[in-house]
Amino acid sequence: MAASMALTKPLLYFFPPSYATMKARVLMEEKGIEYDLELVHTFLCENLQRSYVQKVNPKGTVPALALPNGTILTESLEIMKWADNHDNAPLGGSSVDRTKVDFWLDAMDKFDGNYFIWALCPPPLGPILHDQLIFKKAFVEQHAKFVAELAQFYTEKANWTAQEIEKLKDEDAKNSIKDEVRRLVQTAEKQLASTEFVAGEAVSAADAMFATLLNRVEMAQLGPELLADAPKVQEYWEKFKARKSYLASVPASL
């Protein structure tokens, strides 16, 4: 993996459709951070290959951010915080409320964007994502048998994936996560009644978080349901989708 090579700029291990990847890329693009990319195709379980787990991210997830000093950041939230504080100049500066930025960083880090899209995305994408989870479960189950030094890692991943597959059948869980989105949307709606962005008068890390959530709502074709009572959010979303940072970060297709 490229992390073992000397880096002159940050290297982001990414998969374009990844919820966590998109948050990081939107923020890094807004900050104007120069970085390189290395594709890790999670649909093919490249993030679960021995080389990636042992050399890049022991959690087997994307994104991961390798820094020129040899550090590799493996948590989505720490990548966001690193990017926002890059050059000691948080995005938005004094034009944003830092407590609101922190709120969105925390809220969207806790939000399960993967489950949201797995559970609620309609055909044709929804069934494809379900099949990918089944493939992932089979992949880690087989590797648990034959890769002795990572047997515990693969067993834990197999158990987690099995739980996620079962959760896809849980209507209460689906309704609960939609209610969570409604609450977050209404929080943004109130803020956008008085400011241009969700943490103040300038774009900030909070917008990178919230825009990624709105991307998931759009992917699931749930805008008419979840954004119906949020005209300010609808207006904000149409404008944000035209930003260079978003266009550079969103995959053209799966």
Residue 3: pLDDT above 90? no
Residue 50, Cα to own-chain centre: how many angstroms?
A: 23
4: Cβ contacts below 8 Å, ≥ 6 apart: 55
Taking the chain, what is the end-to-end CA distance rounded to the nearest angstrom? 24
Q: Do residues 31 and 155 share a domain? A: no
Is 45 part of any domain? yes
Q: For residue range 181-192, list pLDDT tens digits in order.
A: 999 999 999 999
State the alpha helices, DSSP H only, in 168-251: 171-192, 205-219, 223-226, 231-240, 244-249
Edge-first strand listing for the sheet containing 36-39: 36-39, 11-14, 64-66, 72-73
What's residue 196's pLDDT?
98
> Domains in the chain: how many in total?
2
What's residue 190's pLDDT?
98
CA distance 63 to 7: 17
Q: For residue range 220-246, list pLDDT tens digits in order.
A: 999 999 999 999 999 999 999 999 999
User: Under a CB-based contact definition with an 8 Å cutoff, are residues 26 and 246 in contact?
Assistant: yes
65: Cβ contacts below 8 Å, ≥ 6 apart: 10, 11, 12, 13, 24, 35, 72, 73, 79, 82
CATH of the domain at 222: 1.20.1050.10
SS3 call for 157: helix
Q: For residue range 210-220, list pLDDT tens digits in order.
A: 999 999 999 99
Average pLDDT of the segment spanning 108-115: 96
Residue at a domain's end among 37, 67, 92:
92
Element (H, E) at 23: helix 19-31
Residue 144, Cα to own-chain centre: how many angstroms?
A: 27
Residue 2: pLDDT above 70? no
Element (H, E) at 122: none
Q: Do residues 71 and 128 share a domain? A: no
Domain that holds residue 133: 98-249
230: Cβ contacts below 8 Å, ≥ 6 apart: 185, 186, 188, 189
Residue 98: pLDDT above 60? yes
Residue 34: pLDDT above 60? yes
What's residue 6's pLDDT?
85
Select from 93, 26, 95 the least CA-distant residue to 241: 26
Q: Do residues 170 and 142 share a domain? A: yes
Q: Do residues 53 and 35 share a domain? A: yes
Is 121 part of any domain? yes
CA distance 103 to 122: 30
Calculate the average pLDDT of the chain.
96
SS3 call for 22: helix
SS3 call for 121: coil
Q: Do residues 148 and 106 share a domain? A: yes
Q: For residue range 127-142, list pLDDT tens digits in order.
A: 999 999 999 999 999 9
User: Under a CB-based contact definition with an 8 Å cutoff, are residues 200 and 100 in contact?
Assistant: yes
Q: Do residues 117 and 163 share a domain? A: yes
CA distance 137 to 165: 9
Q: Do residues 15 and 88 share a domain? A: yes
Q: Do residues 186 and 109 share a domain? A: yes
User: Under a CB-based contact definition with an 8 Å cutoff, are residues 40 and 221 in contact?
Assistant: no
Residue 122: pLDDT above 70? yes
Q: For residue range 50-96, list pLDDT tens digits in order.
A: 999 999 999 999 999 999 999 999 999 999 999 999 999 999 999 99
Q: Do residues 49 and 86 share a domain? A: yes
Q: Do residues 154 and 207 share a domain? A: yes
Q: Do residues 219 and 102 share a domain? A: yes
Name the band, by pLDDT with cuts 50, 70 and 90, for residue 106. Answer: very high
What's residue 251's pLDDT?
81
Is 254 part of any domain? no
Q: For residue range 143-174, list pLDDT tens digits in order.
A: 999 999 999 999 999 999 999 999 999 999 99
Select from 89, 95, 115 the least CA-distant residue to 27: 89
Average pLDDT of the segment spanning 180-209: 98
Residue 10: pLDDT above 90? yes
Q: For residue range 36-46, list pLDDT tens digits in order.
A: 999 999 999 99
